[in-house]
Amino acid sequence: MSGFRYGEYQEGPDPLAPPYDVRAALDELGRSVLAGAKPLRALRDLLRRGTQGISGLDDLLRQVRERRDLLRGQGRLDGTLREARALLDRAVGQERAALFPDPSDDARLRESELDALPADTAAAVRRLADYQWRSDAARETFGRLRDLLRGEVLDAQFRGMKQALQSADPAAMARVRAMVEALNEMLAADDRGEHTQADFDRFMAEYGDFFPENPRDLAELVDTLARRSAAAQRLLNSLTPDQRAELADLMAQATAEAGLTDAMDRLSGALRSRRPDLAWSGTDRMDGSEGLGVGDATTALEELADLADLDSALSQRYAGAGLDDIDEEAVRRALGRAAVDDLARLRALERELRDQGYLTGTRNRLELTPKAVRRLGETALREVFADSAGGRLGQHAAEGAGQTGEPTGATRPWRFGDEQPLDVVRTLGNAAARGRAPDGRLRLRADDFEVVETERHDAAAVCLLVDLSYSMALRDLWGTAKQTAMALHALVTTRFPQDAVQVIGFSDYARELPAAGLAELEWEPVQGTNLQHALVLAGRHLDRHPDFDPIVLIVTDGEPTAHLARDGSAQFAWPPTSETTALTLAEVDRMTSRGAALNVFLLADDPRLEAFVEEVARRNGGRVVRPNADRLGSYVVQDFLSRRRRVG
């Protein structure tokens, strides 16, 4: 066993982690849709929050911003300038100390030369380039200054080069020059269409130690170098004009001394032309107390650019935003493997919602599928059951589901949508009467099927009238009303398939609401509560099912303020006119004559509304229920089940 070692799983999400529940994620998304969000917004909110232990985009964004603040506090951008100035002053001071005891004219002449040095560091370094130092210590210090500048200049372009050039080794510098020339030749060959992967592999075999990122091909190498070159340019842009000129001059001197001026200029131009999309002209700020060298500052600004891109991608605030826009490699560089795993889980969750048939559409327009709507209805019903006393709502006998009554002994041809049992003997007899197929088998056709006629004495025609007026949204009742409608529709269609259910929404006008559209139903900022029109539509539904027992449920938070005129237009008035009230009560009376009791679920405390619904109850014989708005669904479903049991 000594040859085995155990540790945290390193390659992607842990395969032994509990799987996420796609249906639970859909339920979360559905709650947002029921509250009024579009499916696309609901999905984005879900991905931002995260779910089932998966960090969402907001958490990743928080990590990005914390990392950004930490980076900005690491130091200032003028560290190399300050260090160069300090080394220059030390070298000059050491030289003065060596000259002071010497009474010769040469010593005084040298002192005059030192006194005349420009205040600008770069100009002073250039003036001293050929100076013959008397002091060995001063010569060594000035050499450290030149090594510093050479290393920082190269480190600004090639990460880690500073460590590779700790001393002015001629052989090492010659190899650097050869590498840059080979790189330029490879880029030129690529421009001509002559570059091959084998060329790149040979280049990396010889110079790969200069590139700790270990790029796999020329495109990755260009991306790495271009992002760093752009960061170095932003460093210069972020300094004051005097600092920028001074540092640029120092870097130019160092490049010239290394014999790299022409090669580095060509490389910089090639990188800019290949990646013009990078932020070459921007600025950044660093506000730490310690000065950073050019190489370290470039590294910090390069990472800040990555973090800025990640901030934009993770925020998802632009049109057409999607998880595919987030650069996984940038996430890995900035936040580590765990963040990449969370991003992969979010992508898998979004993919599963589509693959399992819950979401459809494009990135800019997303829709719930009928399968998703059915699931949301079942979830709404389940939550209503859980909210009811003992959780026993709906536990009624369901024997004979799909059979609407006792057989009459007669049969009739099957019609699409019929749920009566098939008469197998008559069906096969019809097929046999047409004759057998050449192979001797019976071939069934749709017109062969016959169903058993049944009595319809236990079926119900169910109407749910839901107020969709502006006040429902103002009172934050919109999501509750939609959830109630979906729960009731799911209950009727799954537990009482013989029933005929219709959901009617009413504001200035009334209209039938298809089940598939309930989840995404939006309130309309219009005036009017046209209960009269809703009762007209409900009456037509009952008239289409004369042998069904009528069940009519009304959910509202306002008195009727609109009615249909003779020309079919909606007439609104507030306070309600006597005509609106009279026409609405006339429809109530027609409902009463059909034997339909109206149970009204009242969601507001208003004296006039109270008086109106009490009058409805008096004339019709129905009930007025004043539910807690948060438990509207359980009240409505419980009322339906109570009446439905009496029907059966």
pLDDT of residue 24: 75
Picking from 21-25, 71-75, 508-512, which range would have the lowest pLDDT averaged per residue? 21-25
- Region of 50 please: left (phi>0), alpha (psi -120 to 50) or beta: left
Are β-strands 598-602 and 460-467 bridged in parallel, bridged antiparallel, or unpaired?
unpaired
What are the CA-CA distances from residue 631 to residues 33, 384, 415, 601 (Å)? Answer: 19, 8, 40, 11
CA 222/CA 218 separation, integer angstroms: 6
Beta strands in 456-540 (DSSP E): 460-467, 500-506, 510-512
Q: Read off the pLDDT band of 474 (50, 70, 90).
A: low
Q: How confident is the model at residue 137 (pLDDT cuts 50, 70, 90)?
A: very high
Contact 327, 310 (CB under 8 A): yes
Q: Does the structure show a pLDDT above 60 at 4?
A: no
pLDDT for position 185: 94
Q: From CA 533, how far away is CA 536, in angstroms rounded?
A: 5
Quick: pLDDT tens for 347-405.
888 888 787 777 777 766 777 777 777 777 777 677 666 665 544 443 333 333 334 45
Q: Give me the residues paired with residue 452 across strands.
A: 411
How far is 31 from 416, CA to CA, in rounded Å?
Answer: 34
Do 410 and 454 meet the contact criterion of CB atoms below 8 Å apart?
Answer: no
pLDDT > 70: percent of the chain: 83
As a whole number, mean pLDDT of residues 526-550 equals 86
The enclosing H or E element of 58 equals helix 57-72
Query: 612-635 burial by CB neighbour count: b if 16+ within 10 A, else e?
Result: bbeebbeebebebbebeeeebbbb
Q: Rounded CA gap, 596 and 591, in Å?
A: 5
Least confident of 121-135, 143-157, 178-192, 240-254: 143-157
The whole-number average pLDDT for the span 159-177 is: 70
What are the two backbone dihedrals, phi and then psi, of residue 269, each rounded to the nearest 5 degrees? -65, -40
Q: Find the range with the poorest average confidence among 18-27, 41-50, 635-644.
A: 18-27
| Burial class, 194, CB count within 10 angstroms (exposed 0-12 / middle 13-18 / buried 19+) | exposed
Residue type, 236: L
The pair of three-digit structure tokens given for residue 476, joined into one six-digit string: 């934050």
Please tell me the predicted confidence (pLDDT) of residue 387: 60
* Nearby residues of 306 by Cβ (< 8 Å), 6 or more positions away: 227, 330, 333, 334
Average pLDDT over residues 55-79: 85
Q: Which of 9, 277, 258 lies closest to 157 in space, CA to CA? A: 258
Structure tokens at 144: 């450290």
> Rounded distance, CA 122 to CA 82, Å?
12
DSSP state of 209: G
Encoded tokens for 366: 């997303």
Beta strands in 36-160 (DSSP E): 50-51, 54-55
Give the pairing of strands 510-512 and 500-506: antiparallel
Least confident of 108-112, 167-171, 386-390, 479-483: 386-390
Using DSSP's 3-state secondary structure scheme, residue 549 falls into strand
Q: How confident is the model at residue 419 (pLDDT cuts 50, 70, 90)?
A: low
d(CA 647, CA 595): 13
Whether the predicted pLDDT of 513 surpasses 70: yes
Encode 340-369 in three state secondary structure: HHHHHHHHHHHHHHHHCCCEEECCCCEEEC
What is the arithmetic mean of pLDDT over 21-27? 73
Mean pLDDT estimate for the chain: 79
Residue 3: pLDDT over 50:
yes
Burial of residue 285 (CB within 10 Å: 0-12, 13-18, 19+) is exposed
Dihedral sign (CA 170, 171, 177, 180): negative
CA distance 170 to 412: 102
CA distances to 81, 160, 224 from 213, rounded to whole Å, are 28, 10, 8
* pLDDT (mean) for 594-609: 80
Residue 637 predicted with pLDDT over 80 = no
Contact 110, 134 (CB under 8 A): yes
Higher-confidence residue of 21 and 274: namely 274
Task: Give the Å distances, CA to CA, from 415 to 45, 221, 411.
Answer: 44, 68, 12
Helix (H) or strand (E) holding 503: strand 500-506
pLDDT of 94 > 60? The answer is: yes
Which band of pLDDT confidence, cut at 50, 70 and 90, is reported for residue 184? Answer: very high
Q: Specify the pLDDT at position 199.
A: 93
Global pTM reads 0.62
| 358, 510 Cβ separation under 8 angstroms | no
Tell me whether the omega of the peptide bond preceding residue 413 falls within 30 degrees of 0, making it cis.
Answer: no
| Closest by CA position to 166, among listed 179, 150, 153 | 150
